[in-house]
Amino acid sequence: MVVELVFLTGNANKMAEANEALKETGISLVPPRQRVEKLEIQDNRVENISLYAARHASRRLREPFVVEDDGLFVKLLNGFPGPYTAYALKTIGIGGLLKLLEGVKERDAYFLSAVTLHIDGRLYLFTHRVDGTISLQPRGSSGFGFDPVFIPNGYTSTYAEMDLSLKSKISHRAGAFRQMAAFLKNYYEKFKER
């Protein structure tokens, strides 16, 4: 199976990570050939944000495409920043998040990714969650966003201390995109049978 899918994102890091995660699947993600706005609503669930963005984009794009939204959810902060992760990064940054957790031992958190595939006029949602903890200080220079403070369970390194190859095997985004790839493989096999 060799498939090229449009990925509606302005984030080159997300594009690189998703393509790395998909490189064994025959799926490659490309930017749209035309300007298409990815409309992001305010909602408490990343799944709803991803689905809404795909519905909105489907009015302009007729070819298969995918959108992704994700968030960092900190247990002690009742899930903050969650779907507001990009805004929190812009406003309080990594330093602000660490300040909120200063002196706190309970540092459980998780990243959740929601990938919505639009194909043949239908939407399919794939989610993946990675549990972990927030480090005491930023570590590493790879990755982006809150990667320097997120340590996935089973590892001692933050996402930002991992190279792209490792992060793309274990990340929340990679997991959701690989679910999508498995679905597409089955989808195209059934399509060929008709």
N-term to C-term CA, the chain: 16
Q: Which is the catalytic residue, given 69, 70, 108, 120? A: 69
Helices (H) and strands (E) in the chain, counts: 6, 7
DSSP string, 29-60: EE--SS---------S-HHHHHHHHHHHHTTT
Residue closest to 73 by CA, chosen among 123, 22, 127, 146: 146
108 is known as an active-site residue? no
Q: Which residues are catalytic?
A: 69
